[in-house]
Amino acid sequence: MTPGQVFLLALALLYLSDCFLLVPRRGFAFLNMRARGRWRVALPSTALGNDRGGLVMTMPLPPLGRALVTGLWPISMSARGFTGVVTACPNPGMRPPLRSGVFRWDDLKEVGWEGRDLLVNGRRFLRLASPQVARAYSVLFLTLARTPEAGRAVVIESWCRRELSARRVRHRLRVFERVTSALRATCNALFFVAFVAVPLTYWYFGAAAPFFFALVAAGLLMVTIGVQFWCLHRRLYPEQGSERLQLWLLVGFMPQYAIRAVDELSKGLLANVHPLAAAEALLDDAGFRRFRDAVLRDLDSPVPQVLCGEEVDAALALAVEFREQFEEPALRAVAARRLGEPVRRAPEPQSLEAGSAEFCPRCLMPYEVGSGECLDCGGVETVPLGGGAI
């Protein structure tokens, strides 16, 4: 292979590696492979990942598609306090270890955020998905700490409804599409120049004037993308000033990263939105019904927790209280709102292998009689056929 061919191959491999998104294990990627196509949900890979997250492949070819990442609520709250233990995780595969321990609102002296870290009483409490999520929780915590215990439930219920607003998702997406349309066009142009114009001019003309003109065009497009990216990132994520320079350097000096600049902006757009609200806003009826059923089955048959730290029992009790008092009613209201129908129990498996008379109420996998638990769901107890699934 010639040096030019080696360079092009290396650039293509680097570009493909940048087409993967790292999605948290409790998160989802909403992908649209075409400019105006249908949205679908992608789960973090169980093979390409670890207990904290997995990779998801986005559209590598023009028009480069759209990618949004959102995650479940990472903190459980009640009128008494809060904890980093949560019960929800509809995705298959490993689950990250959770930090136990219960903090009372009355003991909260100071709360803030530094990057993605949520700080409680001057110490890091939890690392969240993005700085805007950490900032939102710090504001919520200050509000709850200043609210009398009798009124905290109302504040938490109001917060849950706001985080489940599909209207807010649609508004954010409309604004994002409008302000990033020029950047998307420039990224597509850079793709054609980098992977079509540059190779063809080198193939036909060698290291001659047309080839260098193509390189100059690629350089100008990268400069344009760098300026557009800086302005848009400052507008969409004003609190991420510490990360902006690092991302801008990657976009400005690495062509494969510059082509994916829109993905870098979009993946945090719904970071503080519950996945069910994103599903309501983006998916069609059939897709929303499947997603809704998976979320609700996980609510009623959660995977057993892997906890570390102190006050394990108290943290689990608070997590269950948050799920039953706030999370489940809010999610069921959204589930019924989208389709205008009551949320019924999902159908049991229609076809079972010979000898199978039990199934997992979480993933609906059939099992033989006496299996006891579902290994794919981390030990969720199986139920007899006719026992019901959510």
Would you call 268 helix, strand, or coil by DSSP? coil
**pLDDT at 390 (0 to 100):** 46
30-47 confidence digits (pLDDT tens):
999 876 678 999 988 878
156-214 confidence digits (pLDDT tens):
999 999 999 999 999 999 999 999 999 999 999 999 999 999 888 888 887 788 888 99
Query: How many residues does this entry show for the chain?
Result: 390
pTM: 0.85
279-335 confidence digits (pLDDT tens):
999 998 888 988 888 888 888 777 776 666 566 778 888 888 998 899 888 888 888
Query: How many other C-beta atoms are found inside a 10 Å radius of the C-beta of residue 3?
Result: 7
Has residue 91 got a pLDDT over 80? no
Q: How confident is the model at residue 389 (pLDDT cuts 50, 70, 90)?
A: very low
How far is CA 282 from each of CA 48, 90, 186, rounded to the nearest angstrom?
26, 19, 26
**pLDDT at 290 (0 to 100):** 87
216-253 confidence digits (pLDDT tens):
999 999 999 999 999 999 999 887 877 888 889 888 88
Helix (H) / strand (E) element for 207: namely none
257 within 8 A of 147, measured Cβ to Cβ:
no
Task: Give, rounded to a whole angstrom, the gap between the first and last alpha carbons of the chain.
Answer: 58
**pLDDT at 192 (0 to 100):** 94
354-375 confidence digits (pLDDT tens):
456 777 777 777 777 666 777 7
Has residue 133 got a pLDDT over 50? yes
Secondary structure (DSSP) of 176-201:
HHHHTHHHHHHHHHHHHIIIIIHHHH
Q: How confident is the model at residue 100 (pLDDT cuts 50, 70, 90)?
A: low
**pLDDT at 79 (0 to 100):** 92
Compute the average pLDDT of residues 43-70: 86
- What are the structure tokens assigned to 63, written together? 């028009």
